[in-house]
Amino acid sequence: MTESAVQVPVVDLRGETATTDLDHAWRNVGFVSVVGHGIGQSHFEEMRSLLVELFALGDAVKRRYRITPDNYRGFIPLGFFTPNRGEVTGTTPDAYEAFKLHWECPDGHPALTACPLYGRNRWVPEVDRMAEVVSRYWSACDSLGRTLLDAVASSLGVHGTTLHAMFDAPLTNMTLMHYPAMPPGADFGIHPHRDTNIFTLLHPDPVGGLQVQDRDGEWITVACPPDAMVVNVGEMLELLSGGHFVATPHRVVNLGPDRYSFPYFMVPDHDVVVEPLVLPRPGFEAASMPVGELTNEVWRTNWPDELPSESDYALGSLGR
Q: What is the pLDDT of residues 225-248, one digit of tens each?
A: 899 999 999 999 999 999 999 999
pLDDT at 259 over 80: yes
More confident residue, 313 or 320: 313
At residue 316, the 3 state secondary structure works out as coil
pLDDT digits (tens, 9 = 90+) for 8-18: 899 999 999 99
Decide if 35 contacts 225 (C-beta within 8 A): yes
Beta-carbon neighbour count of residue 115 at 10 Å? 19
Strands 190-193 and 210-213: unpaired
pLDDT digits (tens, 9 = 90+) for 39-93: 999 999 999 999 999 999 999 999 999 998 888 899 999 888 765 454 444 556 7
Q: How far apart are CA 269 and CA 170, in angstroms?
A: 4
pLDDT of residue 94: 79
pLDDT at 319 over 70: no
At residue 295, the 3 state secondary structure works out as helix
More confident residue, 140 or 94: 140
Fold of 5-300: Jelly Rolls (2.60.120)
Q: How far apart are CA 318 and CA 213, in angstroms?
A: 11
- Residues 44, 166, 200: CA angle, nearest 5 degrees: 30
Mean pLDDT of the chain: 87
Decide if 254 contacts 216 (C-beta within 8 A): no
- Residues 24, 31, 252: CA angle, nearest 5 degrees: 165
pLDDT of residue 86: 44
Decide if 52 contacts 28 (C-beta within 8 A): no
pLDDT of residue 92: 67
Q: Which residues contact 117 (CB under 8 A, 6 or more apart)?
A: 72, 102, 171, 270, 292, 295, 296, 299
> Nearest to residue 260, comparing CAs of 80, 81, 50, 66?
50
User: How many residues does the structure list for the chain?
Assistant: 320
At residue 213, the 3 state secondary structure works out as strand
| Cα within 13 Å of Cα(9), Cβ side | 20
Given strand 219-223, what is the order of strands in its sheet? Answer: 5-7, 219-223, 210-213, 250-252, 190-193
pLDDT at 167 over 60: yes
pLDDT digits (tens, 9 = 90+) for 272-308: 999 999 999 999 988 899 999 888 887 777 776 666 6
| Average confidence (pLDDT) over 103-125 | 92
Q: How far apart are CA 61 and CA 130, in angstroms?
A: 15
| Average confidence (pLDDT) over 176-183 | 85
| Average confidence (pLDDT) over 125-144 | 97
Residue-range domain boundaries for the chain: 5-300
- Kindly provide the residue ranges of all beta strands, DSSP E only, lying in 29-96, ordered along the sequence: 31-35, 74-76
Decide if 197 contacts 264 (C-beta within 8 A): no
Instruction: Please give the share of the chain, as a percent, with pLDDT higher than 90.
Output: 64
pLDDT of residue 89: 46
pLDDT of residue 186: 61
Q: How far apart are CA 111 and CA 169, in angstroms?
A: 7
